[in-house]
């Protein structure tokens, strides 16, 4: 039964409608984003919600990513750790090289405070302490990082450490890091941490105060994160989150000598040349179809807000299975909306059944 259901859904689709179609023309046509020179080995700008790429340069190249690794470290810690649990700083953590907070062996620090030390001060000592306190050791924690990465669709990355110091098998892509950040941004604790400029230790009940070394928080208006990074192999790296017309845009630059300047360049271009438009609202009916003579309504499961680039043509198509001969329950995924920019697919999402339609199936007996 399940195999037939999957086959009936995936084998044959046909186009039902071409609903939204139009041009958005710039009054003052500027240089296309693809031709803007960004001095970085790899770079992307991603709409955090729709996951639409608005800029890319070597987005999928496998490269070292230094301390931008710590976004994934924080994701794993928030999933598996207890924020108010105290973690004892080991000699291994206290003796790690690179950027550190300065935790001393034997100190006991809450996971919550360690995350501030990790993300604001880029503390490698905090990273090791978190890995040991949450995963048992660095190797087990790295396994959790890779498993979680697979789960959220990060398939071109491999993590060996929680801090990002250079290792041959520790790598990611600009696109993967942007996706990881978009997932992390859904967590209010993550947002509170990476958006903080200065943290008073006494007010938080911490052992010390923290100043954020991420200068982008002061350079881009309303920037709300996320993470710096640097090693000899990775070069200067930066992940930024900043709102454009109320929508979070994730910008990643890797091996970028002028990371603040180049990030601002990408941000300013997107702010000028993209308009975010709400095409459909959650709960709107996308399509009404018949299933065994009964009405089945398919609705949008989320608000669909899309960044539209000036001077480009956007179209949408709604797809449905050629035939449905099984019971569909309210909330089931049936059909799909696809959005195209100049004929290129940039977005797709499942439609949701707004009601239940039962289909009786009779068993044939043969003797």
2-25+279-353 and 40-257, same CATH topology: no
pTM value?
0.88
Q: Of residues 48, 50, 57, 67, which has the active-site annotation?
A: 67
The answer for 247, left when phi > 0, alpha when psi is -120 to 50, beta otherwise, is: beta
**Burial class of residue 288 (count of CB atoms within 10 Å of its CB; 0-12, 13-18, 19+):** exposed
Tens-digit pLDDT profile for residues 239-280: 999 999 999 999 999 999 999 999 999 999 999 999 999 999
Instruction: Provide the strand spans (E) within 255-343.
Output: 274-280, 285-291, 294-300, 304-309, 312-321, 333-341
Q: Of residues 48, 50, 122, 241, which has the active-site annotation?
A: 122
CATH 3.40.50.300 fits 2-25+279-353, yes or no: no
Domain 40-257, architecture per CATH: 3-Layer(aba) Sandwich (3.40)
Sketch the domain layout of the chain as residue ranges: 2-25+279-353, 40-257
- Asked if residue 275 lies in contact with residue 307, where contact means CB atoms within 8 angstroms, the answer is yes
Q: How high is the pLDDT of residue 32?
A: 47
Active site residue 70: yes
Q: How high is the pLDDT of residue 19?
A: 40
Q: Of residues 48, 50, 57, 70, which has the active-site annotation?
A: 70
Active site residue 21: no
40-53 as b/e: b if 16+ CB within 10 A: bbbbbbbbbbbbbe
Active site residue 209: no
Tens-digit pLDDT profile for residues 33-45: 446 789 999 999 9
| Residue 251: alpha-carbon gap to chain centroid | 11
Q: How confident is the model at residue 325 (pLDDT cuts 50, 70, 90)?
A: confident
């Amino acid at each position: 039964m399940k195999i037939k259901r999957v086959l009936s859904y995936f084998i044959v689709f046909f186009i039902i409608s071409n609903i939204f179609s139009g041009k958005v023309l710039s009054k003052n046509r500027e240089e296309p984003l693809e031709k803007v020179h960004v001095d970085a080995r790899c770079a992307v700008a991603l709409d955090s919600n729709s996951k639409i790429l608005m800029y890319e340069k070597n987005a999928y190249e496998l490269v070292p990513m230094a301390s931008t690794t710590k976004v994934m470290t924080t994701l794993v810690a928030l999933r598996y750790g207890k924020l108010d649990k105290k973690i004892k700083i080991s000699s291994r953590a206290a003796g790690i090289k690179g950027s550190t907070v300065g935790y001393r062996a034997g100190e006991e620090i809450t996971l919550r405070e360690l995350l501030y030390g990790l993300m604001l001060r880029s503390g490698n000592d905090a990273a090791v302490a978190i890995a040991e306190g949450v995963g048992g050791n660095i190797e087990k924690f790295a396994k959790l990082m890779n498993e979680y990465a697979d789960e959220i669709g990060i398939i071109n990355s491999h993590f060996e450490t929680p801090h990002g110091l250079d290792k041959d098998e520790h790598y990611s892509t600009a696109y993967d890091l942007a996706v990881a950040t978009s997932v992390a941004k859904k967590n209010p604790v993550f947002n509170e941490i990476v958006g903080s400029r200065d943290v008073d230790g006494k007010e938080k009940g911490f052992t010390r105060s923290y100043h954020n070394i991420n200068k982008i928080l002061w350079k881009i208006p309303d920037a709300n994160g996320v993470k710096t990074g640097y090693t000899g192999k990775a070069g200067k790296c930066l992940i930024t989150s900043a709102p454009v017309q109320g929508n979070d845009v994730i910008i990643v630059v890797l091996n970028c000598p002028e990371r603040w300047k180049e990030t601002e360049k990408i941000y300013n271009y997107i702010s000028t040349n993209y308009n975010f438009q709400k095409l459909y609202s959650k709960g709107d009916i996308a399509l009404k179809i018949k299933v065994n003579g009964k009405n089945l309504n398919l609705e949008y499961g989320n608000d669909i807000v899309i960044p539209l680039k000036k001077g480009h043509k956007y179209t949408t198509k709604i797809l449905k299975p050629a035939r449905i001969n099984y019971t569909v329950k309210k909330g089931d995924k049936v059909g799909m909306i696809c959005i195209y920019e100049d004929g290129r697919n940039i977005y797709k999402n499942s439609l949701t059944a707004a009601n239940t339609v039962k289909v009786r199936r009779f068993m044939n007996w043969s003797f």
